[in-house]
């Protein structure tokens, strides 16, 4: 008898576990319905509270917030919640926020895993326009993020007002069919849009009696002298990923093309990596590599190795961001009279040309915060995010708290001395504890922040001036949003095309593949369906212009 | 007729249950002991098989597995028609076979050599040193490999010393597999030799004594006693290894490769990682993974059959 009982026990345990798992599997399917009912609940709640009487801080609000912890903050904190910024934010808004971070360097993988899990934090911060295959329209259709169009006037009055006053930003923040989906990161001033470009060690230039390089021939001449006269073992070094279109396709752009998609003189969309200019670029770089002007570890170097080579004089030229690279390199070579860096103009093919492709960010990059479909308190989440677009919140996100991190001097928010002149840590790390302006986030970034942060060295100011010289607006493709179906098709074509392009680019430059096969390479890319992508992008561009 | 048939099967079930009950009564503890194992397999090996069905669907996370629409073999056809199919298949097979060719006999030879060492402290310190890489994380291992193979790394220093020319080795497609396989051997040799050492210690000393009396030297003893005694262990491990022939740890390759070496380094599992996790083609990458599993399964079947026919040792 005892044994039978045991047997039954075992069986019931097993079936219990099986059904429990089954239910778990189904919870993902049900979440769509769940949100509907949550929305309904929410409407009820909304009626009971008086909208006009709302004021911060809120009470009894718990939220979870998923975002990447930026490296300069991660130097000192393992969670954003431990910083002065997050503590102040929670006090000001009255919300208890639990911050969740993916492992550094695995943001994309972990976000995609999060999407599959069906179990979302209330707020997710990411670049959905750029990194979610299918873009915001698909994310809305997949039921990952919430359509907040109807809620914005009610729960996000500051953002709403901001959009009303700035129609050009409003256009960029919607899907083609007019839905809002995010609390965006906004660059409110042209001054904030340029922050990347080519960098050289100008002490060497002076020693060699050279001018700042302008053309590709100048660069060739300069790098050769770096190698022969200054003993550089890797005159030019950078990670190949920096040749990217989003950084303005440096060096590739000299030949009148971008690495990926751009608009030509007639306004037609073109794919750069199959143009005749691209072949010229490959030939130039292959020559530079063969002559030892390009780092011999070119295809495998990482960011730290690049920094090490530059600051020890193994290399004399690279590319970098104003703060996180140029600023750091300048700081670590302050005591070395032989090394000092400055940003120079993007190289062109013929002297006197104006660079066509340089780094210039959009006012709205696609980075932003999204309310997930499993968020239980939509109003609270939106109120917390909306705070950043109020006058007070804007100041807080850019400068922190008056008296703590900045002082108002003659009406100008001035960072305290311990931030700008810290002897132990770089500005990016100190400032990162108080504000989010040094990287990105759902708030409007202000010019005054960058006038101080990006300019702790005079070299940074000059660099920025040099990098701004360009005609890039004419040729850059705006942040267009293909429909989910179009995106799926584009993604499957581009995943093959880009793998192939990256591979061939490296092989051509390293001389492992002869440039005589270039026509076959172009044909292969055409066979993979590049023209279809251009066709779909053209349609999306038309819709964008009609918004 | 029908009723007769039913009564027979009914009786059979009753008899079977009676047998189980009797057996259960006798070996109660044994049944309890196997329970966690059964649960483990149900939970972690059989339940996930349900998830493999997304290979035949257009999986949308929010709709769930059962809510997504069926698409049949679309994803499989897309993979077979992909420009990368042949390359991926070839690379996976070559890297895998090379790893077996060098990596499988190495721990056996190592264990045999170790077995000949009589000085205890020497033996155990060698063992300890060779285990170590097994406990290091892959990121650290690859960090070391990158350091060794860069233009001014250790290996290039040696090459230059002997009059060669320094090269960024990880950028050279023709040496990628060599680096991969040799580092694999270095990483696993100590750990994998443990099982052979255990088998070696189980050999009856009397056999060696008898052989010595018959005049067999060390070499003859190894050939005629040691090797035959551990033969079944070797064969079973080889069959198991064959079952993983297309499964290559994607971690190490992802960390080691770059566009210059894609053509020799890109394997099925790295492709699954890129298309599935990075590009969100969940169904497509599941289809590829499933294809991979089917091939693995057939390899293990063939290896087992061959082994049963020629050596009378087999898994089943």
**What's the mean per-residue pLDDT of chain A?**
86
Tell me: pLDDT of B104 over 50. yes
pLDDT of residue B314: 77
pLDDT of residue A407: 93
Q: Which two tokens stand for residue A446?
A: 């202000």
Tens of pLDDT, residue by residue over B235-249, are: 888 888 888 887 777
Of the residues B41, B53, B62, the best mutation for testing chain A's interface (the one with the most A CB atoms within 10 Å of its CB) is B62
Which residue of chain A comes nearest to B168, CA vs CA? A297
Which residue of chain A comes nearest to B256, CA vs CA? A300
Say if the Cβ atoms of B260 and A506 lie within 8 Å.
yes
- Asked whether the domain spanning A195-359+475-545 has the same topology as the one spanning A11-188+364-399, the reply is yes
Say if the Cβ atoms of A528 and B83 lie within 8 Å.
yes
Say if the Cβ atoms of A496 and B173 lie within 8 Å.
no
Tell me: pLDDT of B137 over 80. yes
Contacts of A508 in chain B (CB under 8 A): none
Say if the Cβ atoms of A144 and B61 lie within 8 Å.
yes
Residue A259 near residue A273 (C-beta atoms within 8 A): yes
Q: Which two tokens stand for residue A241?
A: 């990923």
Q: How near does any CA of chain A get to the CA of B115, in Å?
A: 42
Q: How far is CA B270 from CA A164, A287, B99, B257, in A?
A: 47, 32, 17, 10
Helix B227-242 vs helix B173-201: angle between axes, to the nearest 10 degrees?
Answer: 130
Q: How near does any CA of chain A get to the CA of B119, in Å?
A: 45
pLDDT of residue B8: 57
Say if the Cβ atoms of A142 and B279 lie within 8 Å.
no
Say if the Cβ atoms of B259 and A492 lie within 8 Å.
no
Residue A28, classed as helix, strand or coil, is helix
Angle at A446 between CA A418 and CA A470, to 5 degrees: 110
Residue range B28-57: mean pLDDT, rounded: 88
Say if the Cβ atoms of A3 and B280 lie within 8 Å.
no
Domain definitions of chain A by residue range:
11-188+364-399, 195-359+475-545
Q: Please list the residues that pair with A65 across neighbouring strands.
A: A99, A123
Residue B100 near residue B245 (C-beta atoms within 8 A): yes
DSSP H helical ranges for B104-226: 105-116, 120-135, 138-149, 154-161, 173-201, 205-213, 218-221
Tens of pLDDT, residue by residue over B263-311, are: 899 998 888 888 888 877 888 888 988 898 888 888 888 888 888 888 7
pLDDT of residue A15: 45
pLDDT of residue A346: 95
- B284-293 b/e (C-beta count within 10 Å ≥ 16 → b): bbbbbbbbbe
Q: How many other C-beta atoms are found inside a 10 Å radius of the C-beta of residue A541?
A: 19
Between positions 146 and 175 of B, the ones with CB within 8 A of A are 146, 150-151, 166-168, 170-171, 173
Q: Please list the residues that pair with A412 across neighbouring strands.
A: A409
C-alpha to C-alpha distance for A194 and A360, rounded to whole angstroms:
5
Say if the Cβ atoms of B63 and A29 lie within 8 Å.
yes
Residue A234 near residue A295 (C-beta atoms within 8 A): yes
Say if the Cβ atoms of B281 and A491 lie within 8 Å.
yes
Contacts of A495 in chain B (CB under 8 A): 274-275, 279, 281
Write out residues in chain A with pLDDT < 70, as ranges. 1-53
Residue A184, classed as helix, strand or coil, is strand
Residue range B203-218: mean pLDDT, rounded: 89
Q: Band of the pLDDT at B7, cuts 50, 70, 90?
A: low
ipTM of this complex prediction, to 2 decimal places: 0.73
According to CATH, the superfamily of the domain at A11-188+364-399 is Periplasmic binding protein-like II (3.40.190.10)
CATH number for the domain whose boundaries are A195-359+475-545? 3.40.190.10
Closest Cα to residue A246, out of A290, A296, A193?
A: A193
């Amino acid at each position: 008898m005892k044994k039978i009982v045991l047997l039954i026990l075992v069986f019931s345990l097993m079936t219990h576990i099986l059904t429990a798992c089954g239910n778990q599997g189904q919870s993902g399917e049900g979440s769509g319905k769940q949100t509907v009912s949550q929305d309904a609940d929410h409407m009820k709640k909304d009626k009971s509270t008086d909208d006009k009487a709302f004021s911060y801080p809120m009470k009894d609000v718990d939220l979870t917030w998923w975002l990447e912890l930026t490296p300069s903050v991660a130097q000192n904190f393992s969670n954003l919640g431990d910083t002065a910024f997050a503590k102040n934010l929670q006090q000001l808004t009255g919300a208890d926020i639990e911050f969740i971070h993916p492992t550094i360097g695995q943001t994309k993988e972990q976000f995609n895993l999060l999407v599959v899990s069906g179990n979302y934090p209330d707020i997710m911060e990411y670049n959905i326009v750029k990194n979610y295959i299918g873009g915001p329209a698909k994310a809305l259709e997949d039921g990952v993020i919430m359509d907040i169009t109807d809620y914005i006037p009610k729960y996000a009055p500051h953002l709403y007002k901001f959009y009303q006053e700035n129609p050009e930003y409003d256009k960029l923040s919607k899907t083609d069919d007019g839905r809002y989906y995010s609390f965006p990161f906004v660059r409110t001033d042209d001054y904030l849009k340029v922050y990347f470009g080519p960098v050289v060690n100008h002490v060497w230039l002076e020693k060699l009696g050279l001018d700042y390089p302008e053309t590709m021939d100048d660069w060739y001449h300069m790098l050769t002298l770096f190698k022969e006269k200054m003993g550089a073992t890797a005159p030019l070094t950078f990670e190949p990923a920096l040749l990217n279109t989003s950084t303005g396709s440096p060096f590739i752009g000299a030949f009148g093309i971008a690495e990926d998609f751009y608009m030509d003189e007639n306004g037609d969309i073109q794919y750069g990596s199959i143009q005749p200019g691209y072949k010229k670029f490959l030939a130039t770089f292959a020559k530079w590599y063969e002559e030892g002007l390009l780092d011999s570890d070119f295809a495998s170097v990482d960011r730290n190795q690049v920094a090490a080579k530059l600051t020890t004089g193994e290399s004399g030229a690279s590319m970098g961001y104003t703060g996180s690279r140029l600023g750091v390199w300048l700081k670590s070579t302050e005591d070395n009279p032989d090394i000092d860096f400055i940003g120079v103009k993007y190289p062109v093919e013929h002297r006197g040309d104006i660079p066509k492709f340089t780094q210039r960010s959009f006012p709205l990059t696609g980075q932003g915060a999204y309310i997930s479909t499993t968020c239980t308190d939509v109003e609270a989440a939106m109120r917390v995010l909306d705070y950043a677009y109020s006058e007070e919140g804007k100041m807080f996100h850019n400068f922190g708290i008056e008296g703590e991190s900045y002082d108002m001097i003659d009406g100008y928010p001035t960072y305290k001395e311990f931030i700008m002149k810290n002897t132990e840590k770089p500005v990016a790390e100190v400032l990162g504890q108080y504000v989010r302006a040094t990287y990105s986030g759902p708030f409007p970034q202000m010019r005054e922040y960058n006038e101080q942060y990006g300019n702790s060295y005079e070299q940074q100011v000059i660099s920025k001036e040099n990098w701004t010289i360009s005609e890039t607006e004419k040729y850059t493709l705006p942040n267009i949003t293909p429909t989910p179906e179009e995106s799926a098709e584009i993604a499957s074509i581009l995943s093959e095309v880009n793998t192939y392009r990256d591979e061939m680019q490296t092989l051509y430059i390293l001389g492992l593949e002869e440039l005589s096969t270039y026509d076959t390479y172009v044909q292969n890319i055409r066979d993979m369906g590049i023209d279809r992508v251009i066709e779909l992008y053209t349609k999306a561009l038309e819709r964008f212009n009609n918004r | 007729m029908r009723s007769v048939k039913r009564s027979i099967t009914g009786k059979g079930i009753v008899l079977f249950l009676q047998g189980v009950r009797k057996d259960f009564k006798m070996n109660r503890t044994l049944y309890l002991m196997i329970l966690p194992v059964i649960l483990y397999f149900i939970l972690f090996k059989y339940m996930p098989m349900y998830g493999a069905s997304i290979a035949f669907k257009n999986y949308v996370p929010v709709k769930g597995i059962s809510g997504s629409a069926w698409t049949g073999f679309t994803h499989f056809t897309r993979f077979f028609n992909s420009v990368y199919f042949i390359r991926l298949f070839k690379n996976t097979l070559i890297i895998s076979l090379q790893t077996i060719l060098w990596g499988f006999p190495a721990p056996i030879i190592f264990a045999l050599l170790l077995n000949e060492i009589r000085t205890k402290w020497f033996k155990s310190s060698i063992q300890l040193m060779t285990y170590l890489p097994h406990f290091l994380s892959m990121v650290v291992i690859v960090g070391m490999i990158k350091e060794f193979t860069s233009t001014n790394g250790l290996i290039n220093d040696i090459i230059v010393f002997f009059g060669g020319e320094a090269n960024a080795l990880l950028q050279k497609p023709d040496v990628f597999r060599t680096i991969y396989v040799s580092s694999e051997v270095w990483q696993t040799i100590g750990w994998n030799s443990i099982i052979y050492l255990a088998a070696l210690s189980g050999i009856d000393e009397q056999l060696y004594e008898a052989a010595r009396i018959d005049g067999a030297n060390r070499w003859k003893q190894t050939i005629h006693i040691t090797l035959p005694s551990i033969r079944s262990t070797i064969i079973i491990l080889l069959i198991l290894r064959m079952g993983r022939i297309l499964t290559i740890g994607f971690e190490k390759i992802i960390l080691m490769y770059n566009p210059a070496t894609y053509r020799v380094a890109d394997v099925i599992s790295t492709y699954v990682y890129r298309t599935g996790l990075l590009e969100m083609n969940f169904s497509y990458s599941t289809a590829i993974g499933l294809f991979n599993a089917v091939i693995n399964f057939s390899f293990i079947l063939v290896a087992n059959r061959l082994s049963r026919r020629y050596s009378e040792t087999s898994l089943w």
